[in-house]
A and B are shown apart, each in its own frame.
Chain A
Amino acid sequence: MEISRSAPTQAKAVVPPESGPPNLRQTPVEPPAPQNKGKVRLGDRLFSGASRGSGILLLVIMAAIAAFLTYRAVGAIADDHGNFLTTKEWNANATPPVFGIAVLATGTVISAVIAMVIAVPIAVGVALFISHYAPRKLAQPLAYLVDLLAAVPSIVYGLWGALFLVPHLQGTTQWLDSFFAWTYVFDASQPEVTPRSLFTVGILLAIMILPIVTNVSREVFLQVPRMHEEAALALGATRWEVIRISVLPFGRSGVISASMLGLGRALGETMAVATVLSPSAILSLHILDPGGGTIAQNIASGFGEASPFGRDALIASGLVLFVITLVVNGAARLIIARRKEYSGANA
């Protein structure tokens, strides 16, 4: 008892020095030997310097990424004989080089959007299922199962996508084409061709981003104040009504930021797209048709044969990808930061 009693006073005495200059801390202690004081300061200074230095190093790396990509990209874009933003084909190794990101940027966005449309509702469902519906004992193993999905390397998803998913989506593609061709997007010009299309890529990406969206959403749903839920229950709400009136409104911004984190992943995914898609320089909104491309896929497929100038051109496209993901992720983090009560950022 005595110890616990003295603890608060000690805490009060010590807390301010913790954030203040180190020599303040010495006051409550018995006067130590003078040379001891100097030593302590040196260790402290070295340690805080090293840790602060690492933090600064991280900032320097981020700045260097932006600087070096820009440096190489500017030279490449200056020598581009097409318009970098509107040219469809990517012939950076030809003389004169003609390349642009019109098809690649569109393909990147389309595949990511397909992935979001499929993954977000399912992920929110799974998150709700784990946080509010699954039996308590099952919740943890189920969450672990979803984590396993996240642990599978992207190249394995790519292999599975190319050799298993693509042939198995042939039927779905034909079915969508025969019943929903009137929607324009589902109109396949050759439905009998193997569906190495943006649609298939979108489905694969959806599977890949599902875990991160699920995990962040689940964490937010678990933070809903118990009182909100109990108040709703006390009013006679059913379980679904509890979720609709207390859980979903509270979790909305969390779900948005989770989705944007998933979007960032989907935009930058390389290998799964490179194995599944059969790329072409055709700009089309018929998502069931093979063709199109994404920025990351183009880098991975084109790097092997790229000339030194071709590499710079690929770096230029990488810079575009970097900026897109930076904006998406930055926005997601700002939304999270607005609500400090939960940290969805550690997923």
Chain B
Amino acid sequence: MSAVTDKTPQGGIHPSAPSLKHARLPKWAPAATAVGAIAVAVGIGMGAELSSKIQWGLIAVLLFVGTLHVLSSKVEGTRQAKDRLATSLLWVCFILAVIPLFSLIEYTIAKGLKVLDAAFLSHSMNGVITTETGGGIYHSLIGTLEQVGIATAMAAPIGLLTAIYLVEYGRGKLAKTVTFFVDVMTGVPSIVAGLFILSFWIIYLDFNFSGFAGAMALAILMMPVVVRSTEEMLKLVPNELREASLALGVPKWLTILRVVLPTAIGGIVTGVMLAIARITGETAPVLLLVYGSTAINNNPFDGPQDSLPLYVFQQWKNGNEPSYDRAWAAALVLIALVMAFNLLARGIARWKAPSGGRG
């Protein structure tokens, strides 16, 4: 704004017109107000002996927003004051949004590092009395990796092919229906996916609880995410590439396999990795279908297994200090795993960004 007003020629055609330059608060005014507000808030907090730091923060924010608004409306006029008010409120929104993130990550790391060591990663809970220390997450880690692996093996090809259908082949009613239901499927709660496999696989077909049953539910949750992201990526592939290949007489399916997919592969892998990150943390379907166990079960097709999110839930349910410690440590491992998938996905996206797309 200031740039616009500054460039306007001064003392223009109408000498009687008001100057286009408004009085402005100096640039350091917001910072100074912030420092002042925090100082006063700390003073009030100490003086009134308010125990909660949240209250201190609240007082500081209110003081800052209020003071700046009053100052600005006195000096700059109501419109500028409103603008400043909106700016500070948006800052407040953003800070409010990241406070829980930092609190959660800091708290999990602080609590989780207490029992996290090599023994915790390499031992199961078999024979460990829950009220005592010891035990580990080896069996859960095995379960999580196997279930997520199987789910990916099922969901990724189906998701990929569906996306290819929607982008390369799909016309008309069927494609529209599939698009709509893929969108709706994204919103299916994880517990409902779990209940479906429960009623179909375990009650109707009478199979036992197993890692595979859990993997099927996870695959249902993963499919729409893969379809969506792959679809977006395939749409970014420039049409000229397809046309050039087709013009050379290459059949359509080879064009897709050899030209379209390699061009978009970075984005597709990224989408799959993000989907993996999402299902790694799913608890509800695993709770219903894998059932949980304290011993190592390497076979995902037979008998109850365990998984990391389920482990966290069960340790929390035990309700004593050693179990809480284990829960935090497992939660830390889980977050680390999910973040690793996320970072990997972003790394791949940056490394193999399709040209002509986001570049």
What residues of chain A have their CB less than 8 Å away from a CB belonging to chain B?
A: 7, 10-11, 13-15, 17-19, 22, 25-26, 28-30, 32, 40, 43-44, 46-48, 50-59, 61-62, 64-65, 68-69, 71-72, 121-123, 125-126, 128-130, 133-134, 142, 144-149, 151-160, 162-164, 171-172, 207, 210, 214, 233, 236, 238-241, 243, 261, 264-265, 267-271, 274-275, 296, 299-300, 303, 308, 311-312, 314-315, 318, 321-322, 325-326, 328-330, 332-333, 337, 343, 345-346
Rounded to whole Å, the gap between the CB of B80 and the closest CB of chain A is 6
Contact B312 A54 (CB under 8 A): no
Query: In the complex, what distance in Å separates the CA atom of A328 from the CA atom of B186?
Result: 12
Interface residues of chain B: helix, strand, loop or mixed (majority): helix
Contact A64 B200 (CB under 8 A): yes
Contact A329 B191 (CB under 8 A): no
B139 in contact (CB, < 8 A):
no
Contact A155 B246 (CB under 8 A): no
Q: Which residues of B contact A148 (CB under 8 A)?
A: 101, 339, 342
Contact B188 A325 (CB under 8 A): yes
Closest chain A residue to B51, Cβ basis: A171
Query: In the complex, what distance in Å separates the CA atom of A308 from the CA atom of B204?
Result: 12
Query: In the complex, what distance in Å separates the CA atom of A239 from the CA atom of B240?
Result: 41
Contact B287 A321 (CB under 8 A): no
Closest chain A residue to B185, Cβ basis: A62
Contact A154 B196 (CB under 8 A): no
Contact A69 B169 (CB under 8 A): no
Interface residues of chain A: helix, strand, loop or mixed (majority): helix
Known A-B contacts A19-B171, A71-B199; A158 and B313 likewise in contact (beta carbons under 8 Å): yes
Query: In the complex, what distance in Å separates the CA atom of A269 from the CA atom of B240?
Result: 44
CB-contact partner of B243 in A15, A32, A240, A329, under 8 A: A15
Known A-B contacts A151-B342, A154-B281; A122 and B196 likewise in contact (beta carbons under 8 Å): no
Contact B161 A264 (CB under 8 A): no
Q: Which residues of B contact A171 (CB under 8 A)?
A: 51-52, 54
CB-contact partner of A146 in B97, B191, B242, under 8 A: B97
Spot the interface stretch: B9-17, B88-96, B127-135, B297-305. Answer: B88-96
B44 in contact (CB, < 8 A):
no
Contact B196 A64 (CB under 8 A): yes
Known A-B contacts A54-B161, A270-B191; A46 and B253 likewise in contact (beta carbons under 8 Å): yes
Q: Which residues of A contact B242 (CB under 8 A)?
A: 18
Kindly supply a per-residue 1/0 record for chain B positions 83-106, scoring 1 wherever the CB is within 8 Å of any chain A CB and 0 otherwise: 101110111111011101101100
Spot the interface stretch: B33-41, B117-125, B172-180. Answer: B172-180
Seed contacts A69-B199, A156-B108, A268-B189; 7 additional CB < 8 Å A-B pairs: A58-B162, A126-B93, A149-B101, A151-B277, A171-B52, A318-B192, A321-B189
Contact B252 A14 (CB under 8 A): no
Contact A345 B169 (CB under 8 A): no
Query: In the complex, what distance in Å separates the CA atom of A242 from the CA atom of B239?
Result: 37
Closest chain B residue to A169, Cβ basis: B54
Kindly supply a per-residue 1/0 record for chain B positions 180-213, scoring 1 wherever the CB is within 8 Å of any chain A CB and 0 otherwise: 1111111111111101101110011000000000
Q: Which residues of B contact A142 (CB under 8 A)?
A: 94
Closest chain B residue to A157, Cβ basis: B104
B68 in contact (CB, < 8 A):
no
Query: In the complex, what distance in Å separates the CA atom of A65 from the CA atom of B198?
Result: 11
Contact B98 A145 (CB under 8 A): yes
Query: In the complex, what distance in Å separates the CA atom of A61 from the CA atom of B184?
Result: 12
B116 in contact (CB, < 8 A):
no
Kindly supply a per-residue 1/0 record for chain B positions 231-255, scoring 1 wherever the CB is within 8 Å of any chain A CB and 0 otherwise: 1100000011011101101011110
Rounded to whole Å, the gap between the CB of B172 and the closest CB of chain A is 10
Query: In the complex, what distance in Å separates the CA atom of A264 from the CA atom of B187?
Result: 6
Known A-B contacts A7-B240, A239-B87, A296-B191; A271 and B309 likewise in contact (beta carbons under 8 Å): yes
Contact B108 A330 (CB under 8 A): no
Q: Which residues of A contact B283 (CB under 8 A)?
A: 153-155, 270-271
Closest chain A residue to B183, Cβ basis: A333
Q: Which residues of B contact A345 (CB under 8 A)?
A: 183, 186, 228
Closest chain B residue to A124, Cβ basis: B93
Contact A51 B187 (CB under 8 A): no
Closest chain B residue to A70, Cβ basis: B199
Closest chain A residue to B239, Cβ basis: A11
Contact B93 A125 (CB under 8 A): yes
Known A-B contacts A43-B254, A158-B313; A267 and B189 likewise in contact (beta carbons under 8 Å): yes
B1 in contact (CB, < 8 A):
yes
Rounded to whole Å, the gap between the CB of A271 and the closest CB of chain B is 5
Q: Which residues of B contact A28 (CB under 8 A)?
A: 247
Contact A58 B246 (CB under 8 A): no
Mind listing 5 A-B residue pairs with CB under 8 Å?
Answer: A7-B243, A46-B253, A52-B170, A238-B82, A238-B83
B335 in contact (CB, < 8 A):
yes
B328 in contact (CB, < 8 A):
yes
Contact B165 A69 (CB under 8 A): no
Rounded to whole Å, the gap between the CB of A24 and the closest CB of chain B is 11
Rounded to whole Å, the gap between the CB of B276 and the closest CB of chain A is 11
Contact A54 B246 (CB under 8 A): no
Contact B170 A326 (CB under 8 A): no
Kindly supply a per-residue 1/0 record for chain B positions 40-69, scoring 1 wherever the CB is within 8 Å of any chain A CB and 0 otherwise: 000000000001101000000000000000
Query: In the complex, what distance in Å separates the CA atom of A314 from the CA atom of B288?
Result: 11
B324 in contact (CB, < 8 A):
yes
CB-contact partner of A329 in B186, B204, B327, under 8 A: B186
Q: Which residues of B contact A152 (CB under 8 A)?
A: 101, 104, 281, 335, 338
